[in-house]
């Protein structure tokens, strides 16, 4: 086959389509969850995820790293994700989410739950029945490092109500026993908090 014939045949072949950028394959949803992330310097920083898809996320953070820099993040309700910085914006950055197909399916389900929770305004997820913990008191560590002994008014698989005079700002991360949580509401007797991850009754009794 001569060069002329090869050129004609190449021209007749349908053009191969380039794959679309990954960010266009997934629909992002607006969420509001806290977490921590680590850049290549191995320092940890707090962050807030403002929107996310199974293929990427936008984080508000005190530092942003460099384009292409590896990121490992631990996000409340989501767990561990990793990827690279793709875009910088004022107050934060966007990153890819590298995951298997199975992990992406799980992420899609988690994001759907988070988005619906925000729309329905269910910060404490009252769909979970309240349970009585074995111990009615627990140690609470506030964002400033102050440690308090608090009475547990009630608790569910997703959150708890605590009797305390402390009033950390809404969204503040705290620790109850050995569990991470954040403040979602103030009321006369104390505060309501949401656990970072959905718990089992056994985990609550072992970790509060």
pLDDT in tens, 59-113: 998 898 899 999 999 888 788 999 999 999 988 999 999 999 888 888 888 887 7
Taking the complete model, does pTM exceed 0.75, yes or no? no
Q: Tell me the C-alpha distance between 151 and 8, whole Å.
A: 81
Residue 97 CB-half CA count within 13 A = 30
Comparing C-alpha atoms, which of 64, 61, 71 is closest to residue 97?
71
Q: Tell me the C-alpha distance between 7 and 80, whole Å.
A: 50
Instruction: Quickly tell me which residue has 């305390």 as its tokens.
Output: 164
* pLDDT score for 39: 94
Q: Tell me the C-alpha distance between 195 and 42, whole Å.
A: 26
Question: DSSP letters of 36-86?
Answer: EEE-TT--EEEEEEEEEETTEEEEE-S----TT-EEEEEETTTEEEEEEEE
Structure-block tokens of residue 72: 């490992």
| Residue 35 backbone dihedrals phi, psi, to 5 degrees | -175, -170
**Which pLDDT tens digits describe the chain residue by residue (208 residues)?**
444 444 444 444 444 443 444 444 677 888 878 888 999 998 888 888 889 999 999 999 889 889 999 999 988 878 899 999 999 998 899 999 999 988 888 888 888 777 766 544 444 444 456 676 778 889 999 888 889 999 888 888 888 889 899 998 888 889 998 888 888 888 888 888 888 777 777 888 888 8
* pLDDT score for 84: 96
């Amino acid at each position: 086959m001569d060069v002329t014939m090869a050129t004609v045949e190449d021209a007749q072949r349908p053009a191969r389509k380039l794959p679309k950028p990954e960010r266009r394959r997934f629909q992002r949803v607006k969420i509001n969850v806290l977490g921590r992330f680590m850049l290549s310097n191995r320092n940890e920083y707090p962050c807030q995820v403002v929107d996310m898809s199974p293929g990427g996320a936008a984080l508000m953070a005190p530092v942003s790293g460099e384009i292409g820099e590896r990121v490992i993040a631990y996000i409340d309700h989501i767990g561990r994700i990793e990827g690279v910085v793709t875009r910088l914006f004022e107050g934060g950055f966007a990153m890819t989410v590298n995951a298997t197909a199975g992990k992406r399916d799980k992420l899609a389900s988690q994001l759907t739950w988070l988005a619906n929770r925000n729309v329905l305004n269910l910060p404490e997820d009252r769909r979970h029945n309240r349970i009585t913990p074995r111990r009615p008191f627990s140690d609470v560590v506030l964002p400033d490092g102050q440690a308090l002994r608090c009475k547990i008014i009630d608790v569910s698989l997703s959150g708890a109500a605590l009797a305390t005079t402390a009033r950390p700002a809404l969204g503040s991360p705290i620790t109850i026993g050995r569990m991470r949580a954040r403040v979602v509401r103030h009321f006369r007797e104390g505060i309501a908090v949401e656990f970072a991850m959905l718990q089992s009754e056994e985990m609550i009794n072992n970790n509060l």
